[in-house]
Structure 1
Amino acid sequence: MARGVYIHIPFCHQICHYCDFNKVFFKNQPVDAYIEALGQEIATAVAQYPNEFTQVETIFLGGGTPTALSAAQIQRLLEIIRNFIPMQNVKEFTSEANPDELTVEKLQALFNGGVNRLSMGVQSFDAGLLEKIGRTHSNEHVYKAIDNAKQVGFTNISIDLMYGLPGQTMVQWQHTLQTALALKLPHYSAYSLIVEPKTVFYIQYAKGKLHLPTQDLEADMYDVLLQEMEAAGLAQYEISNFAEEGHVSIHNKIYWDNDEYAGFGAGAHGYLAGIRYSNHGPIKKYIEIAQSDVRPIVHEHQVTHEEKMEEQMFLGLRKVEGVSFTAYEKKMKEPMHKRYGDIIEQLVKDGLLQQDEQGIRLTRQGRFVGNEVFQQFLT
Structure 2
Amino acid sequence: MSIGIYIHVPFCLQKCNYCDFISYPYDAGLAASYVYALEREMKLHAGKMPADQREVRTVFLGGGTPSLLSGQHLALILENCRRYFRIRDDAEITVECNPGTVTREKFALMRRAGVNRISIGVQAFQSRILSFLGRIHSFAQVTEAVKACRDEGIDNISCDLIYGIPGQTGQDWQETLDRVLNLSPAHISAYGLKVEPETPLYKAVASGSVVPCDEDAELEMYQYVISILAARGFKHYEISNFALPGMEARHNLIYWLNEEYLGLGPAAHSMLDRHRFSNVKCVASYIKKLEKNELAVQEIISLSLEDEISETVFLGLRLLGGLDTLAFARRFGCSAADIFGPQLKKLTDLGLIKINANSIRLTEKGLPLANEVFVEFI
TM range, smaller chain: over 0.9
Residue identity opposite 1:294 in structure 2: E
Q: What is aligned with 1:366?
A: 366
> How do 1:122-133 and structure 2 match up within 5 A?
122-133=122-133
For residues 119 and 309 of structure 2, the distance between their equivalents in structure 1, rounded to whole angstroms, comes to 31
What RMSD over aligned residues (CA atoms) do the two structures have, in Å?
Answer: 1.3
SS at match of 2:300: strand
Q: Deviations over 1:59-115 (max 9, x none)?
A: 000000100112222232222222222113552000000011111121111111111
Runs of 4+ displaced beyond 4 Å: none
Q: Distance in 1 between matches of 2:282 and 2:11?
A: 12
3-state SS, counterpart of residue 60 of structure 1: strand
Shift of 1:309: 1.0
3-state SS, counterpart of residue 162 of structure 1? strand
Alpha-carbon shift at residue 268 of structure 1 (Å) = 0.6
Q: Kindly tell me: are residues 69 and 33 of structure 1, through their superposed partners in 2, closer, same or farther at Cα, counting changes over 3 Å?
A: same
Does 1:111 pair with 2:132?
A: no
1:155-194 to 2 correspondence within 5 Å?
Answer: 155-194=155-194
Q: Partner letter of residue 194 of structure 2? A: I
Contact 1:98/1:121 (CA < 8 Å) preserved in 2? yes
In the other structure, the counterpart of 1:309 is: 309
TM-score by length of 1: 0.97
Whether the 8 Å CA contact 1:2–1:259 is kept in 2: the answer is no
Contact 1:189 1:240 survives alignment (8 Å): yes
User: Residues of 2 paired with 1:202 and 1:270: CA distance?
Assistant: 28
Matched-pair contact (CA < 8 Å) for 1:56–1:90: no
Q: Quick one: which amino acid aligns to residue 104 of structure 2?
A: V
**Partner residue of 2:201?**
201
- Please tell me whether the aligned partners of residues 52 and 273 of structure 1 are also in contact (alpha carbons under 8 angstroms): no
How has the CA–CA distance of structure 1 residues 89 and 73 changed in structure 2, closer, same or farther, with 3 Å as cutoff? closer
Q: Which letter maps to 1:342?
A: P
CA contact (8 A) 1:2 1:262 kept: no
Aligned residue type for 2:272: L
Mapped partners of 1:339, 1:72: distance in 2: 51
Corresponding letter in the other structure for 2:363: T
C-alpha displacement of 1:367: 0.7
Provide TM-score, normalisation by structure 2: 0.97
Q: Name the structure 1 match of 2:327.
A: 327
Any residues of structure 2 matched to 1:194-343 within 5 Å, and which?
194-343=194-343
> What whole-Å deviation, never above 9, does each CA across 1:122-170 have from its counterpart, x for those lacking one?
0001110000001111111011111111110001000000001121111
The Cα shift of 1:29 comes to 5.4
In the TM superposition, residue 198 of structure 1 has moved relative to its aligned partner by 2.4
**Distance in 1 of aligned mates of 2:360 and 2:321:** 8
* Uncovered stretches (5+) of structure 2, i.e. residues with no partner: none
- Supply the distance in 2 between the matched residues of 1:255 and 1:71 (Cα, whole angstroms): 28
CA distance in 1, matches of 2:299, 2:101: 33
Q: In the alignment, is the contact (CA less than 8 A) between 1:320 and 1:361 conserved in 2?
A: yes
How far apart, CA to CA, are the structure 2 residues paired with 1:80 and 1:3? 16
CA-to-aligned-CA distance 1:13-71 (integer Å, 9 cap, x gap): 11111111110010365110110100000110010113353331100000001001122
Distance in 2 (CA, whole Å) between partners of 1:3 and 1:190 is: 26
Query: What is the CA-CA distance between 1:178 and the residue it aligns to?
Result: 1.3
Q: Is the 8 A contact 1:2 1:272 kept in 2?
A: no
Please tell me whether the aligned partners of residues 111 and 154 of structure 2 are also in contact (alpha carbons under 8 angstroms).
Answer: yes
Alpha-carbon distance in 1 for matches of 2:28, 2:106: 21
Question: Which one-letter code corresponds to 1:369 in the other structure?
Answer: L
Which stretch shows the higher mean deviation, 287-296 or 365-374? 287-296
- 1:224 is aligned with what amino acid? Y
Q: Check conservation: 1:4, 1:59, Cα contact below 8 A.
A: yes
Q: Is residue 99–residue 145 contact of structure 2 (8 Å, CA) maintained in 1? A: yes
Structure 1 spans left out of the alignment, 5+ residues: none
8 Å Cα contact 1:3/1:261 also seen in 2: yes
Partner Cα separation in structure 1 for residue 142 and residue 152 of structure 2: 15
Question: Is residue 102 of structure 1 aligned with residue 102 of structure 2?
Answer: yes
Matched letter for residue 3 of structure 2: R
Deviation at 1:194, TM superposition (A): 0.7
